[in-house]
Amino acid sequence: LFSPPPLPSPSPKMSEVDTEVHSSDSGASLTQPQQTGTLKKGAYVMLKGNPCKIVDYSTAKVGKHGAAKAHIGGIDIFTGKRVEEIHSTGHNVDVPLVSRAT
């Protein structure tokens, strides 16, 4: 004769499941926001997700339909490649917290 397959055991309820959350992060950020209009040559900024030293910075005047723009050119501090971005001077960009090894 044919017997039906056994029924699967019911999945545990959420209150019965032991869960642990581990975090190895101290919660400190490696960057801080800074307004684009306050950046200077020689400072550090995140361009295209990479920390860069600013080597070229120029601003364009306010146009008929928009805010002033800042053209930022930098050198990636790890690879040495040139990176460029354009941002509104009133917007915030991430600035890496850079410390030099002595």
Task: Indicate the pLDDT class of residue 102, thresholds 50, 70 and 90.
Answer: low
Q: How confident is the model at residue 12 (pLDDT cuts 50, 70, 90)?
A: low
Give the three-state DSSP class for 16: helix
- Is residue 70 within 8 A of residue 58, CB to CB? The reply is yes
The CA-based angle 8-10-12, given to 5 degrees, is: 140
Give pTM, 2 decimals: 0.67
* Cα 82 to Cα 52: distance, rounded to the nearest angstrom: 9
Question: Which residues is 12 bridged to in the sheet?
Answer: none
In this predicted model, what pLDDT tens digit does every residue of 39-94 receive, in sequence order? Answer: 999 999 999 999 999 999 999 988 777 889 999 999 999 999 999 999 999 999 99
Element (H, E) at 78: none
